[in-house]
Structure 1
């Protein structure tokens, strides 16, 4: 009699041992130390304030004040004016930047374009210039005393515009942001275009579509996720604008120390030595940025799913 032998299959163990945790540990530690801890400490500072106690001694002591700092921030006219100005800045910068980036990406993706590599580097090059250097460069181009634009206008007999006037300084600052950000977004969109299969374009040309029709009806719809991603990143960067107006501030009186919210936060923290108000303003700005980003992303996703149906 031959005994039937049963072979027990050994199930693969789901436990990978300590190796995954060891590999993930450095990233988790850095995340906690440089993101979660600063956020928690900022929220902690925003709920406290420095008060003078001790009568004539004038001793300063931190006290818990709850949401009093947030109430003062939300009623601060300088902070609210800077917030509105920042939103207007974003309305100008984001569509202009994405529109130019998409235009350049589509032009570089056309079959008959020449000097593609040189043009791509030339468009991307302003992004490699640090923000402070770019702001100083454009700032001296805007200054009436040294601006070559003034000489050019006077040469043709036209009145030279004042780029740093109260009515035009917002567009001048926006121009610096657009000039520096178009190249990066162009690379993102151009990379997405290069990932589209060539058969899609060939099929459209067989159907009689021209290059403009291919760009509008084939290329742009296929790279719409990349356009949405670039738009969200551009919007977040405009909500955190600081370098351009802060660099132009010493050159003109039209840019105040509270021109945008981050400049107000800098003034409160490092000039007025009021870390608690600055922390509350930072939390308000961070929450606003998060809400706007999630709102735009949700709206775009709903429209995308609605069009798929």
Structure 2
């Protein structure tokens, strides 16, 4: 119980939780909205080269996380960056959260896009044709017809993205040697790893792991319930209108 008490009163752990939530506040909406945007654009009647575009968007998901982080890390470094690294401090305190979130978004958008695009392609084409006959524009069809009907897919992608944000580890851990702004305890999983294998405090690490696992389970259930209630109701209304 002393270990659990130490976890609850560990200020460094709570700071790492806040950093994780900050990165997640960037990652989750950016990933879901970009994936939805790409899926809707690829599903339009005027879309061209859709196979190549789908592959290009999905390809980053196939790149292992450590390799992707190293690639972006060298893009961020001033000595090797072709994207303005000499003028923008990507590893500075004010930018490091965005830099880490960018890598996570880059790697996750493709998977979510494929899920949403598959759902869009499964919709009956008669729905789109009826909306066009009624005078709806492509934007109106996308927002008022397509999006409500694929609400379950959007909810599932949102849940997966939230879980990935809570398990943030590879990106900051790989970038840590390159940035002074990323400490060994920057996010909770890095804190657990450091306690266990750097400070050799296995008991504190085990207690932190259990507390963190319970927290992730609670957040997952909450997000799943909210997504099911909100998006499920919207999808049901859309099906009734159809």
Same fold (TM over 0.5): yes
Tell me the distance in 2 between the aligned counterparts of 1:306 and 1:220: 13
2:116 counterpart of 1:116 = no
Task: Name the CA shift for 1:132/1:232 in 2 (closer, same or farther; >3 Å).
Answer: same
- Residue 242 of structure 1 deviates from its aligned partner by 0.2
Q: Deviations over 1:173-225 (max 9, x none)?
A: 00000010000100010011011111111111111111111000000000000
Instruction: Indicate the RMSD between aligned Cα atoms, in angstroms.
Output: 1.5
- Give the unaligned 5+ runs of structure 1: 1-66, 154-159
Q: In structure 2, what is the equivalent of residue 278 of structure 1?
A: 205
Tell me the distance in 1 between the aligned counterparts of 2:231 and 2:109: 25
Superposition pairs for residues 256-275 of structure 1, below 5 Å?
256-275=183-202
2:237 counterpart of 1:303 = no
Residue 148 (structure 2) aligned to one of 212, 216, 221:
221
2:17 counterpart of 1:90 = no
- Residue 272 of structure 1 deviates from its aligned partner by 1.4
- Which structure has the higher relative contact order (CA within 8 Å, separation 6+)? 2
Between structure 1 and structure 2, the one with the greater Rg is 1
- Give the unaligned 5+ runs of structure 2: 238-242
Residue 59 (structure 2) aligned to one of 85, 105, 125:
125
- Residue 300 of structure 1 deviates from its aligned partner by 2.9
Q: Bigger CA drift: 94-103 or 267-276?
A: 267-276
**Secondary structure in structure 2 of the residue aligned to 1:285:** helix
Residue 242 (structure 1) aligned to one of 169, 190, 193:
169
Structure 1 runs (4+) deviating above 6 angstroms are: none
Superposition pairs for residues 155-166 of structure 1, below 5 Å?
160-166=87-93
- Residue 302 of structure 1 deviates from its aligned partner by 3.2
- Residue 304 of structure 1 deviates from its aligned partner by 4.9
- Residue 305 of structure 1 deviates from its aligned partner by 6.3
Q: In structure 1, what is the equivalent of residue 102 of structure 2?
A: 175
Tell me the distance in 2 between the aligned counterparts of 1:305 and 1:204: 22
- Residue 303 of structure 1 deviates from its aligned partner by 3.3
- Residue 306 of structure 1 deviates from its aligned partner by 5.9
- Residue 78 of structure 1 deviates from its aligned partner by 1.3
Tell me the distance in 1 between the aligned counterparts of 2:122 and 2:153: 11
Tell me the distance in 1 between the aligned counterparts of 2:136 and 2:83: 43
Structure with bigger helix share is: 2
TM-score (norm 2): 0.94
- Residue 293 of structure 1 deviates from its aligned partner by 1.3
Tell me the distance in 2 between the aligned counterparts of 1:127 and 1:305: 27
Q: In structure 1, what is the equivalent of residue 74 of structure 2?
A: 140
2:5 counterpart of 1:78 = no
- Residue 137 of structure 1 deviates from its aligned partner by 0.6
